[in-house]
Amino acid sequence: MAKRNKDNLRIKRKYLVWRKDAQGVSEATIDKTAAAISLYDGWLAGKDFRAFHSERARAFKRYLAGLRNERTGAPLSAATINGTLRELKGFFYWLADQPGYKSKISRAIADYLTPDKKSENARRGSLWKPHPSPDQVRHIIANMSQGTVIERRNRALVAFLFLTCSREGAAITLRLGHVDLAHNCVHFDGRQVDTKFGKTFTTAFYPFGEELERCVFNWLEELKRDHLFASSDPLFPKTLVGVGASRKFEVMGILREPWASPSSAAKIFKQAFADAGLPPFSPHRVRDTVAELAKDHCRTPEDYKAWSQNMGHEDVLTTFRSHGSVAPGRQTELMQRFRDRGRCTDDEGSDIIE
């Protein structure tokens, strides 16, 4: 068992309390911070945080580079390594101001934990990411099984994620009362729904077609009619498992409570694509698909602004920067078209601006 230094544990706990109460960060961020500090503390093998110097920082960076993912066996990604280093750097910046530590630690030494620019640029890169096309989305919804209540819930979940462009963590915390069927929209109340940074906004359904909308409408009606769900009940309830006639654990229906974590929703999402013979896309790729759909519907700057705002983005550039990359083949095709077409005329330029 790895040695732990009692002073390290005390100062780590104090820092986490400061992060939560003084900086107001979320529990998920607190967990990431705690994991990064614990990883470093374990590597120290009982040594005090005060014994921090440039060579120790460099040695820890080399240690991180040699670690492998426990599940896949692959080297840690640049995002994981850089995230760990950023959390540690912030911790030592804070330590440099604390009594009993500021005489031992300086921010200049903590800067040795800065990720190298090459890997940081790679992490921030906005290269095109494989994601399902709008037609593929419509295909899997049309072909997903719907014979049982669990299958209908799963089908509605996948359709809902695309219609609203919501993150799975937010979707599983929604209640029936947050969905406004009369206006085809959803109210993401940051006080009740697990939205990013606790933001509150309203999202109207994206134009994926009647099949996806009908799927969600029918699911809401089934919850209210057959299961007597009210406005305060979860939109996507967790699975009820019990001992069946065969004296084995079986799926027996749904509970009147939401999933505790988004992992089950992510698994359902990936399985839907795998069952259709497509790559098991992550729910994170939903926003890339929605950004691709924008090209079929948006014509003016106002269109793009409304589309971006509907995703919960305050700045339309966030949408383009994070999810608006052009596929390499399409990029080459467009560049060839530019060469063949020549320069825009003044009239064409004014039409685009308008």
pLDDT of residue 312: 76
How would residue 344 be classed by pLDDT, with cut points 50, 70 and 90?
low
Return the closest-CA partner of residue 49 out of 85, 99, 12: 12
pLDDT of residue 351: 45
Domain 6-124 matches domain 134-285 at the CATH topology level: no
Backbone angles phi, psi at 243, to 5 degrees: -85, 120
Q: Is the pLDDT of residue 262 over 80?
A: yes
Query: What CATH topology corresponds to 134-285?
Result: hpI Integrase; Chain A (1.10.443)
CATH number of this structure's domain 6-124: 1.10.150.130
How many C-beta atoms surround the C-beta of residue 154 within 10 A? 23
Q: Is the pLDDT of residue 4 over 80?
A: no
In this prediction, residues 208-223 reach a mean pLDDT of 94
Summarised one tens digit per residue, pLDDT across range 43-100 is 998 899 999 999 999 999 999 989 998 888 888 888 889 999 999 999 999 999 999 9
The answer to whether residues 229 and 221 touch, using CB atoms and an 8 Å cutoff, is no
- Segments making up each domain of the chain, as ranges: 6-124, 134-285, 292-353
How would residue 350 be classed by pLDDT, with cut points 50, 70 and 90?
very low
Rg of the Cα atoms in the chain: 25
The answer to whether residues 128 and 320 touch, using CB atoms and an 8 Å cutoff, is no
Percent of the chain with pLDDT over 90: 56
pLDDT of residue 349: 45
Return the closest-CA partner of residue 88 out of 59, 46, 117: 59
